[in-house]
Amino acid sequence: MSDPLVRFQEVQLGYGRQVVLENVQLDIFRGDFFGLVGPNGSGKTTLLRCLLGILKPLSGEITRSAGLRIGYVPQREMLDPRFPLTALDIVLMGRYPCAGVFRSPRRADRDFAMQCLQQVGLGEAAHKLYRELSGGQRQRVLIARALAVEPNLLVLDEPTNGLDLPTEAAILGLIEQLHAQSGLTIVLVSHVLNVVARYATRMGVLLDGRLLVGDAEELMQEQVLEEVYGVPVCVQRLDHHYIVAVREIEEACSDE
Amino acid sequence: MSDWLETWQSPMVQDALRVGIVLAIVAGYLGIYVVLKRIVFVGAALAQVSAAGVALAFLVGWNPLLSATLFALAGSLFFAQSWSERRMSREAVIGAVFLTFSALTVLLASKGAHGMEEVQHLLAGDILAVAPEEVWRIWILGVLVAFLLLRKEFLLVAFDAETAQALGYRTRWWEFAFYLMLGGLIGAVIHLVGLVLIFGYLVLPAMGALLLCRHVASAAVVAIVNALLATVAGLLISVVFDLPTTATILALMSAIAALEGLASAAMSHSSR
């Protein structure tokens, strides 16, 4: 196997004296589709911030391969739609580092941003205001901005939050397509277990301040998930999908 | 007729006009970010911190410009910090700073040579009382701030700080730079134009522009035009009708913002 794009070695993560995750061992390899799941407050955001280089580890070592460029797709809800910015304005932000400080993006940057919008199927909405777009379109704009960085690693934080079922499927389809066709390495962070298990080739599950890494089949076991979420669960497979339900709910449903 | 024309052409009004134009350009543009970043009351609090600096300078015989600027810069550094809102909201801290420095300004001014008259001047200000030697200082500051403000990075950091960090920008430094400019501007003009007018320049022109415009760049241009229009027309009206200048400029800014709000509502109604 080739050298990893990012390697966490015995990493301890947290804020000040508060340790959130301990002994994190993680390799993200070129071409991976890595899914990160865990209950609310388990440390997903902390791990993500560390992966992005925003947060320094308390101890341990994080190695990034030379030439690593991360395209980051933040949670849509974190952005203020009142800003009078068009879809193209936002995608162009991904080109700012290329343009350099104190310089405006060039014509070539603008063309490339336009290409990225077309790649996510939003070429015609380039001049629409971000606030006038639907949730799914906004998500596509943010993915296009991450692509404008020309990344070799795409990191998405809860990309399906607040989307209806068809839009969620379309966004996940787009991410899968970027992975399959462009060979883009993906890190998908989500609290929706089924979504991650459906698409990820490898998964990370956060449990009691630790990160368990394995493939979906290894981790999507009732015993593992019961330990992670602290409730009895039932896991079933339907085609390529995993269906996870809390046991009481499932029993109530089967009684009807 | 010739009386007001003579007054209009007097050095006093012309100096006020020059300062007003720089203030309109710089604060009009800066105001776009102040409103978008939802830090409107940081502007008011910084102006109050700066006013306390002027009151202290008058009391102990320091240079009021220097003192106001130092106070405003210290306030900027404080507000540029990010802190957890788990125990106390940022809004409450801004309110506390505003109230503390309001009290301090009054206490310091009450022991000064001019007493409450000084407080009144700091709050309401009088752009017509600008000394000629201060006009060029304001121009230089204006050019510097305007030059630094034409930066795409401020927009990225204001809109999406986390992605900016992921792209390698040191967002904390960009935040510091923004707040320092805001504090620097407020500190430089507070003892000339007063708290209310600088606060008005930072909020009202940008509000109207953001209601009307669909792009940050066009909103910035409209905000500057709004501020310029209110400044020139306000000065002229106050001279012709012998009205208080600060209140006239502010009333015009409010009227322009209200008209632009109505125009925006009419446009969105007709596009439905």
Q: What share of chain B is helix, strand, coil (3-state, %, to 5)?
A: 85, 0, 15
Whether B219 and A84 lie within 8 Å, measured CB to CB: yes
A70 contacts in B (CB within 8 Å)?
Answer: 166
- Cross-chain CB nearest to B151 (options A53, A85, A102): A102
Residues of chain B with pLDDT under 70: 1-2, 84-86, 115, 122-124, 132-140, 142-150, 272
DSSP conformation class of B38 = T
Size of interface A-B (CB pairs under 8 A): 70
Q: What is the pLDDT of residue A59?
A: 93
Residues B30/B204, Cβ–Cβ less than 8 Å: no
Supply the pLDDT for residue A127: 94
Give contacts of A53 with chain B, Cβ < 8 Å: 165-166, 168
Residue in chain B closest to A132 (alpha carbons) equals: B214
Per residue, what are the HEC states of B208-226? HHHHHCCCHHHHHHHHHHH
Mutate to test the interface with B, among A46, A54, A153 (most CBs of B within 10 A): A54
Architecture in CATH of B2-263: Orthogonal Bundle (1.10)
Let me know: does A84 contact A24? Beta carbons within 8 Å.
no
Give the closest-approach CA distance of B149 to chain A in angstroms.
10
Contact status of B213 with chain A (Cβ, < 8 Å): yes
Chain B residue numbers touching A79 (CB-CB < 8 A): 159-160
Chain A residues touching residue B151 (CB < 8 angstroms) = 101-102
Which of A20, A100, A116 has its CA nearest to residue A59? A20
From the list A80, A84, A93, which residue is nearest B156 (CB)? A93
Q: How far apart are CA B181 and CA B175, in angstroms?
A: 10
Question: Nearest residue on chain A to B163, judged by CA atoms?
Answer: A72
Query: Is the pLDDT reported for residue A157 higher than 80?
Result: yes
Chain A residues with CB under 8 Å of B177 CB are none
Q: Give the residue extent of every domain in chain A.
A: 78-151
Closest-CA residue of chain B to A102 = B151
Q: Which residues of B fall within a CB distance of 8 Å from A41? A: none
Task: Please tell me the least confidently modeled range out of A75-79, A103-107, B2-6, B190-194.
Answer: B2-6
Pairing of strands A18-28, A6-15: antiparallel
Give the start-to-end residue ranges of the domains of chain B: 2-263
Q: How far is A52 from chain B (nearest CA, A)?
A: 6
pLDDT digit string, tens, across residues B115-163: 677 777 766 677 777 776 666 666 667 666 665 666 788 899 999 999 9
- DSSP character string of chain A: -PPPSEEEEEEEEEETTEEEEEEEEEEE-TT-EEEEE--TTSSHHHHHHHHTTSS--SEEEEEE-TT--EEEE--GGGS-TTS--BHHHHHHGGGHHHH-TT----HHHHHHHHHHHHHTT-GGGTTSBGGGS-HHHHHHHHHHHHHHT--SEEEEESTTTT--HHHHHHHHHHHHHHHHHH--EEEEE-S-HHHHHHH-SEEEEEETTEEEEE-HHHH--HHHHHHHHSS-EEEEEETTEEEEEEHHHHHHHHH-
For residue A86, the model assigns a pLDDT of 94
Residue of B151, B159, B165 with shortest CB distance to A80 = B159
Alpha-carbon distances, residue A43 vs A36, A47, A80, A228, B71 (angstroms): 10, 6, 24, 13, 40
Task: State whether residue B268 sits within 8 Å of chain A by CB.
Answer: no
Q: How many angstroms separate the CA atoms of B177 and A96, rounded? A: 18
Mutation target for B interface from A49, A51, A73, A96: give the one with most B CBs within 10 A. Answer: A96
B54–chain A nearest CA distance, Å: 34
Mean pLDDT, chain A, rounded, equals: 88
Are A83 and B168 in contact (CB < 8 Å)?
no
**Cβ distance of B160 and A79 shorter than 8 Å:** yes
Q: Which residue of B has its CA nearest to A128?
A: B214
